[in-house]
Amino acid sequence: MQQHEMAKQFIAKLGWFSPLSREGHEVLRGLTSARPRRLLPGEDIIGEGERPRAVNILVSGWACRCKQLTNGRRQIISLILPGDTCEHVVFVPDEMDHSIIALSPSSTIEMPQNVLDILAREHPHLALALKWEAFVGTAVQREWTVNLGQRTAVERMAHLFCELFVRLQMVGLAEGQGFAMPLTQGDLADALGLSTVHVNRTLQELRGRGLLNLRNRHLTILDFDVLSATANFNRAYLHLSSRAQVNGKAEAS
Amino acid sequence: MQQHEMAKQFIAKLGWFSPLSREGHEVLRGLTSARPRRLLPGEDIIGEGERPRAVNILVSGWACRCKQLTNGRRQIISLILPGDTCEHVVFVPDEMDHSIIALSPSSTIEMPQNVLDILAREHPHLALALKWEAFVGTAVQREWTVNLGQRTAVERMAHLFCELFVRLQMVGLAEGQGFAMPLTQGDLADALGLSTVHVNRTLQELRGRGLLNLRNRHLTILDFDVLSATANFNRAYLHLSSRAQVNGKAEAS
DNA sequence: CGGGATCTTGATAAGTTTCAATGGCAGTGG
DNA sequence: CCACTGCCATTGAAACTTATCAAGATCCCG
């Protein structure tokens, strides 16, 4: 990956808030041309209790926000995809109350606090796009709450896959009707609040209904319409409708 | 309630981020002395699809963030207590993707966008406190995700009550070992992702263990230590300790 | 080729929901 | 004052979804 291609997904994502000027592109490229940090699956990007000194941007691989319970169980609170920021941009806490862990081989780059300050002062438009990104993160978190609270295993999994598909489309990482999905069934279980065994069976159910296919870490969505109807999926919570409809790219369904 | 007492809980809550100066107090009082809007249980503070034009602050009563599913079920995404802001302060979306509903007779006041701008420019310390408030909101949302995903009915309910107790203590609305709790068992069910029937039985279980008592819309916690151990409750996610740490840095009053 | 993680399957158990019925309590209007 | 209504809490029984346990199959990597 070229140096200036490093934060491709990050730049693409911010562009969904509103089209970036050429200057905006260049500012972001400059800010994100740092040398990336490489992580192996299971490695902490930042651990619970640490104090973040910069905002990490995931540039490749998948990661998760994750909370470990004392009884050994863990919940994946949210999935972090290429182009997503790992910490919240608007308010940096004293101490992380959860950890952020790489789920596949990944790389991150850092955006130091002072860079954010400069951005806020000199490029209010980009700063607003960053706030939008953080806001969408909270909206996704709310939808996960609904998912875990109200939906059955089949609906939950269908909903997750719909969300991932749309989010990956945003940053150009969907391939036709599917995407590369590095999660194990155990990871899915931790994200969906199910047991591994039940994830396996739910997956079979969805396969059996002819809605999708998961092989070799690649998910193919065979019928997005039925899948999203099953899940009661409504992309409004991702707050990208203004452009999503115009752009054509995301109109595949 | 006196006019200047209106936003008592709101001011108390911001004070947990770091002690407010006398001037800070006065600025907030001035900004929040507006005439309150009164709501009955079930009334929308702001509905799904609406565009918020100001930030609402709940000054009395309880409300909830809530998402209705097409199959008739609903999930209470978060509970809003006196002193909490209803919308996100840092980024105001085009359209609400959920609604905010009063659960008991309530009142709100509005903080218009331009007031927030003034605050950000002229009172950075207060603006930071507001960002902290929003950040704690996201942390609570994450914890609810864990609650719904990983905990049993008993643990979930215990956890919710622990959280509510601490949050109400923050704003001076806990009374000894308990608090006034206007939620019906149906509301609790929607918040905990359980059926009403099971909420009833879970409540009996907790009562039977001698951990709490719920009568006449008043919850008494008989053994907070055991209750929070049952729930695996750890208040770190409420980020209240900021006060102690910021204390040296911003010696204001 | 071996070994560890991952996926799959079956049987059983547990937790939770659903349905249906009952009782209490408060407000309302005749 | 009393019936009537509506909402809320409670109970029992049966059904269903999901978890747990245990074993085997498969895959991948060194």
Do residue B23 and residue B128 come from a single domain? yes
Q: Is residue A140 part of a domain?
A: no
For residue A63, give the H/E element and its range: strand A63-68
Do residue A123 and residue A208 come from a single domain? no
Do residue B58 and residue B84 come from a single domain? yes
Do residue A34 and residue A98 come from a single domain? yes
Q: Is residue B142 part of a domain?
A: no
- B120: pLDDT strictly greater than 80: yes
Strand C footprint nucleotides (protein C-beta < 7 Å): 5-11, 15-20
Q: Is residue A146 part of a domain?
A: no
Please list the residues that pair with B106 across neighbouring strands. B39
- Scan for tokens 């996610």, then name that residue: B237
Q: Is the minimum CB–CB distance between B70 and chain A shorter than 8 Å?
A: yes
CB B88 within 8 A of CB B98: no
The torsion angles phi and psi of B33, rounded to 5 degrees, stand at -90, 10
pLDDT at B246: 40
Positive or negative CA dihedral for A202, A204, A210, A213? positive
Among candidates B71, B75, B139 on the partner chain, residue whose Cβ is nearest the Cβ of A97: B139
Q: Is residue A79 part of a domain?
A: yes
Residues 6+ apart with CB under 8 A from B185: B196, B199, B200, B203
**Pairwise CB contact (< 8 Å): A91 & B142:** no
- Residue–nucleotide distance: A149 CA to D20 C1' (Å): 22
Closest-CA distance of chain B to residue A186, Å? 14
Sequence length of chain A is: 253
> How does the average pLDDT of chain B come out, rounded?
91
Q: What is the total count of domains within chain A? A: 2
CB B130 within 8 A of CB B14: yes
Q: Is residue A89 part of a domain?
A: yes
**CATH number of the domain within which A89 lies:** 2.60.120.10
Q: Which of A100, A134, A168 is the last residue of a domain?
A: A134
pLDDT at A127: 93
Do residue B128 and residue B159 come from a single domain? no
H helix intervals, chain B: 8-15, 22-31, 113-122, 124-150, 153-170, 185-192, 196-208, 224-231, 242-249
The DSSP code for B116 is: H
Average pLDDT, integer, range A189-193: 98
Can you give B45-103 as a three-state secondary structure string?
A: EECCCCCCCEEEEEEECCEEEEEECCCCCEEEEEEECCCCECCCCCCCCCCCCCEEEEC
Among A111-120, B70-79, B155-164, B177-186, name the one with the lowest average pLDDT: A111-120
Give the residue, A232 or B30, on which the prediction is more confident. Answer: A232
Please list the residues that pair with A57 across neighbouring strands. A85, A109
Do residue A18 and residue A122 come from a single domain? yes
- B203: pLDDT strictly greater than 50: yes
Q: Is residue B139 part of a domain?
A: no
Cα–Cα–Cα angle for B23, B25, B27, nearest 5°?
70
Please list the residues that pair with B101 across neighbouring strands. B44, B64
pLDDT at A242: 57
- CA of residue B128 relative to chain centroid, distance: 18
CB pairs under 8 A between A and B: 118
- B223: pLDDT strictly greater than 60: yes
A220 confidence band (pLDDT: 50, 70, 90): very high
**CATH number of the domain within which B186 lies:** 1.10.10.10
Q: Is A168 exposed, middle or buried (0-12, 13-18, 19+ CB in 10 A)?
A: buried
> How does the average pLDDT of chain A come out, rounded?
92
Q: Is the minimum CB–CB distance between A243 and chain B shorter than 8 Å?
A: no
Q: Is residue B246 part of a domain?
A: no
Phi and psi based region of residue A105 (left: phi greater than 0; alpha: psi -120 to 50; beta: remaining)? beta
Structure pTM? Answer: 0.94
Q: Is residue B253 part of a domain?
A: no
Structural domain containing residue B228? 151-238
The secondary structure of A109-156 as a DSSP string is: EEEEHHHHHHHHHH-HHHHHHHHHHHHHHHHHHHHHHHHHHH--HHHH
Q: What is the C-alpha separation between B213 and A235, in angstroms, rounded?
A: 42
Mapping DSSP to helix (H, G, I), strand (E, B) and coil, where does residue B242 land?
helix
Q: What number of CA atoms fall less than 13 Å from residue A88's CA on the CB side?
A: 26
Residue A182 Cβ < 7 Å to strand D: no
- Torsion angle of the four alpha carbons B140, B141, B142, B146, in this order, in degrees rounded to the nearest 10: 100
The torsion angles phi and psi of A27, rounded to 5 degrees, stand at -60, -50
pLDDT at A176: 92
- A192: pLDDT strictly greater than 80: yes
The DSSP code for B237 is: G
Do residue B185 and residue B124 come from a single domain? no
Do residue B110 and residue B229 come from a single domain? no
pLDDT at A247: 41
Please list the residues that pair with A170 across neighbouring strands. none
Closest-CA distance of chain A to residue B1, Å? 33
Do residue A234 and residue A209 come from a single domain? yes
CB B148 within 8 A of CB A106: no
Q: Is B164 exposed, middle or buried (0-12, 13-18, 19+ CB in 10 A)?
A: buried
Question: Which tokens sit at B168?
Answer: 């109400």
pLDDT at A253: 35
Do residue A200 and residue A127 come from a single domain? no
Taking contacts as CB-CB distances below 8 angstroms, the residues of chain B near A87 are none
Q: What is the pLDDT of residues A11-39, one digit of tens each?
A: 999 999 988 899 999 998 888 777 899 99
Task: List the 137-166 stretch of A: residues with Cβ below 8 A of B.
Answer: 137-139, 141-146, 148-150
CB B219 within 8 A of CB B160: no
Average pLDDT, integer, range A159-177: 96
- CA of residue A110 relative to chain centroid, distance: 17
Question: Which tokens sit at A183?
Answer: 């999660």
Q: Which of A134, A168, A193 is the last residue of a domain?
A: A134
The secondary structure of A188-239 as a DSSP string is: HHHHHT--HHHHHHHHHHHHHTTSEEEETTEEEES-HHHHHHHHT--GGGG-
Give the residue, B224 or A21, on which the prediction is more confident. Answer: B224
Q: What number of CA atoms fall less than 13 Å from residue B115's CA on the CB side?
A: 19
Do residue A96 and residue A189 come from a single domain? no
Do residue A7 and residue A58 come from a single domain? yes
Q: What is the C-alpha separation between A169 and B147, in angstroms, rounded?
A: 30
Q: Is the minimum CB–CB distance between B236 and chain A shorter than 8 Å?
A: yes
Question: Which tokens sit at A160?
Answer: 């997750």
Q: Which of A134, A164, A188 is the last residue of a domain?
A: A134
Q: What is the C-alpha separation between B135 and A92, in angstroms, rounded?
A: 9
